[in-house]
Amino acid sequence: RKEVEQDPGPFNVPEGATVAFNCTYSNSASQSFFWYRQDCRKEPKLLMSVYSSGNEDGRFTAQLNRASQYISLLIRDSKLSDSATYLCVVNESGNQFYFGTGTSLTVIP
Amino acid sequence: EAQVTQNPRYLITVTGKKLTVTCSQNMNHEYMSWYRQDPGLGLRQIYYSMNVEVTDKGDVPEGYKVSRKEKRNFPLILESPSPNQTSLYFCASSLIGQSYEQYFGPGTRLTVT
C-alpha cells in the first residue's frame, strides 16, 4: 500500500475555474503535510504547508482532515501559470518524507 | 543566493562503474536528503541526514551510499550502478523543525547502460 495517494489527473480546466485536489495518507501518526509544485521535471518547490486548522495563501487553500487522513488543495481563479504537477507530501516521524505521485493540472486559455 | 547545487546535472555511465553525485547547500541547513523520481512512482526518499555524521535510510536505500562529513555537503555514491538506477535524482535540504520546508537542487539525470 502506498503511503500517499493522489489522483494523477490530468485536470484540464479553463482560466478562472476553481479546482480541487485531494490526497490520502496511510499513517495516522504522520506529523506534517505539504503541497509542492513541480514544473515539467524541474525541482519541486514548496507551495504551502498544511496546518490542522486549514490555511490560505492568496488563491490557494489547504485543508487537513486527520480523522479521514486526507489533505486537500483548492485553487481559485486558475491562471495559465498554475499549470504544473502538484505533489502531496507527508512527513512521518519528523524525518522521513513520502511524496504522492502528483496531480497534473493544465489551465486552458 | 540561497541554493542547493548538484553535480553533474546529466550523466550517462555503464553498469558497475562507481560514481558520485555531489550535493551542496549554502543555507546552513541541518537536514539533507536524496530522492529519486521515476514515472508513475513519484519521488522516493533514498537516504537522509539530520546533521554531520548522522545518516539514515529512507524508503529505497539499496544500491546507494551517502556520507555527511561536512554540514553543507551530502554526496550520493553508487558503488556499482545498475540499469534500474537510471532515474532523476534530487537533493534537498531544510532546517529541522515544524516547517521542514525543503529546498531542492536542480536534479541529476542519470542513465546507466
In single-letter form, the type of residue at position B16 comes to: G
B24-45 pLDDT, tens per residue? 999 999 999 999 999 988 899 9
Q: Which of B31, B42, B104 sits opposite A100 (nearest CB)?
A: B42
Residue B40 to residue A101, Cβ atoms within 8 A:
yes
CA distance B21 to chain A (A): 16
CA atoms within 13 A on the CB side of A27: 18
Residue B105 to residue A102, Cβ atoms within 8 A:
no
A44-103 pLDDT, tens per residue? 999 999 988 889 999 999 999 999 999 999 999 999 999 999 999 999 876 889 999 999
B98 pLDDT tier (thresholds 50, 70, 90): low
Closest CA to A102 of B37, B101, B91: B37
DSSP 3-state percent helix, strand, coil across chain A (nearest 5): 5, 55, 40
Angle at A31 between CA A102 and CA B55, to 5 degrees: 85
pLDDT of residue A2: 77
A5-60 pLDDT, tens per residue? 998 889 999 999 999 999 999 998 888 899 999 998 799 999 999 988 889 999 99
Contacts of A3 (CB under 8 A, 6+ apart): A25, A26, A27, A90, A92, A98
Residue A44 to residue B90, Cβ atoms within 8 A:
yes
